A = this chain, B = another copy of it.
Amino acid sequence: MNYQVTTALIIGAGSGLSASIARLFAAEGMTIALAPRQVDKLSTLSEEIGAASFICDASKPDEVNELFNQVEQKLGVPTVVVYNPSLRIPGALIELDPIEVAKSLEITAYGGFLVAQAAAKQMLKLGSGAIFFTGASASVKGYPRSAPFAMGKFALRGLAQSIARELAPQNIHVAHFVIDGVIRSATRLEPPDKPDSFLDPDAIAQTYLNILRQPRSAWTYEVELRPWVEKF
């Protein structure tokens, strides 16, 4: 990148992917701000990497604005913001609870808008920045019995594409990551006879870092990542 990344703000920091990104970015010398929905999920990680923690429901405009204000005051304008939250509500169309579906859209997509807007406001003043969105296979293919996740992830991709076109010429790097497969975690390990069939979150994080480091003459807007044996 053509700017110094000093502060990384990771939204939806309760997942293993968020933890891997946080650790890797911290190891690169960045100051890390974590913003999970519930702070207790992250106390160990925060201590480990010396991160600042904030509680934020990213689907609430006021909470998002308050988060960015606090981060700016304590750590300065975040130079990269990663949006990870999503809420998957599986089920047959006719059995879905409309209230749950609305919540799924709010967390998966609308929160992405709120965070992107707050980030852009600060970054445009600074003259640079990066906004990364974590997508899924559902971002590009609507699977049956999974309408809410398809809606949310498609919407998030529409947001990313629109603001990539809008903000890139203003020196803000917007990227969308299509994560296709199961992410490995302590409680979700691939079968021993199928090595590397789940995505290693550290490997995903490395690609986030590589794309963050791209000079602006060759920016990636979209990249996909999947295990070698994943069907697609």
Residues of B within 8 A of A113 (CB): 98, 101, 147-148, 151
- The residue on B at minimum CB distance from A102 is B110
Candidates B110, B148, B171, B203; contact of A217 at CB < 8 Å: B203
* Interface of A toward B, CB cutoff 8 Å: 2, 61, 92-94, 96, 98-99, 101-102, 105, 109-110, 113-114, 116-117, 120-121, 124, 138, 141-148, 150-169, 171, 173, 184, 196-200, 203-204, 206-207, 210, 214-229, 231-232
A92 to B98, CA, bound (A): 31
Residues of B within 8 A of A204 (CB): 218
B151 touches A165 (CB 8 A): no
Is the contact region of chain A dominated by helix, strand, or loop, or is it mixed?
Answer: helix
Residues of B within 8 A of A150 (CB): 158-159, 161-162
Residues of B within 8 A of A223 (CB): 220, 222-224
Residues of B within 8 A of A214 (CB): 203, 206-207, 225
